[in-house]
Amino acid sequence: MSEWALEGDGLTRRYGGFAALDDVAIALRPGEIRGLIGPNGAGKSTLMDLLSGRGAPLSGRVRLFGRDISAMPARQRRRAGLARSFQKTNIFPDLTVAKQIGLATSAAEIDNSVEVMDALGLTALRDRRAADISHGDQRRLDVALALVGRPRVLLLDEPAAGLTMAESLNLALLLRELAARWQVTVLIVEHDMEVIFSICSHLTVLQLGRILAEGTPEQVRSMPEVITAYLGSSVA
């Protein structure tokens, strides 16, 4: 049994001559909530994609609780306990909320659907078609689909995108609570620094496909190279 919940090393993805991700290594401790930040084009989504099995097979390795999952397709990784949500809302528009949560539940080992829908405020919407609910609700549905089955590791790609400040903060605190309750390890990509600072115990900063810095939020926010990279964003 490995000491790391999720590890990646030598992670690289190239498009022609351009390296979206260049030999990146990352390791998450069980139960930690890690923030993944960096300026646009840093490679955050690419890293998420490589860890979750989206797109072309990677060079490098990914391990889930010590088990090598590098060759596994996304479907298998999910079954092994690695789930993700998406930056661009990725739900089933024509199905009702209940039906799609139900679908995710059938593929999972644990039925926590009631808990998930409750926690994310979707219970009242259960018989509504996903296309008919508000954008904010759809984002939460996107996250809910990833939470079904109580995954061991959760990758969240900008879960608060398009939400109001209040909604974002609510979601963040909710995620922190669920993570603690279920002992889920979380890697969260976010631009919203309020969210990042309110729930993350550690941060990884990416820039131009490489790791720029790592550390606690307090450490990272005062690193000169990080400040420079952001050039006066809310980190400083």
Binding footprint of other proteins on the chain (CB under 8 A): 52, 54, 73-75, 78-79, 83-84, 86, 90-95, 99-100, 102-104, 106-108, 127, 129, 145-146, 148-149
Nearest approach in angstroms of CB 76 to other proteins is: 8
Closer of 146 and 163 to other proteins (Cβ): 146
- Residue in 74, 100, 73 with CA at minimum distance from that of residue 89: 100
E strand residue ranges, the chain: 6-15, 18-28, 33-37, 59-64, 67-68, 82-84, 153-157, 185-189, 202-207, 210-215
Closer of 77 and 221 to other proteins (Cβ): 77
Closer of 70 and 105 to other proteins (Cβ): 105
Rounded distance between C-alpha atoms, residue 222 and residue 180, angstroms: 28
Nearest approach in angstroms of CB 161 to other proteins is: 16
Rounded distance between C-alpha atoms, residue 46 and residue 66, angstroms: 22
Residue 225 contacts residue 70 (beta carbons within 8 Å): no
Nearest approach in angstroms of CB 35 to other proteins is: 22
Closer of 129 and 202 to other proteins (Cβ): 129
Nearest approach in angstroms of CB 62 to other proteins is: 15
**Which tokens hold the place of 186?**
């979380």
DSSP 3-state of 120: coil
66 — alpha (psi -120 to 50), left (phi > 0) or beta? left
The tokens 């993350």 sit on which residue? 200
DSSP 3-state of 61: strand
**Which tokens hold the place of 105?**
């539940």
Closer of 100 and 207 to other proteins (Cβ): 100
- 97 alpha-carbon distance from chain centroid: 21
Nearest approach in angstroms of CB 85 to other proteins is: 9
Residue 180 contacts residue 128 (beta carbons within 8 Å): no
Closer of 187 and 200 to other proteins (Cβ): 187
Nearest approach in angstroms of CB 91 to other proteins is: 7
Closer of 13 and 77 to other proteins (Cβ): 77
Nearest approach in angstroms of CB 86 to other proteins is: 8
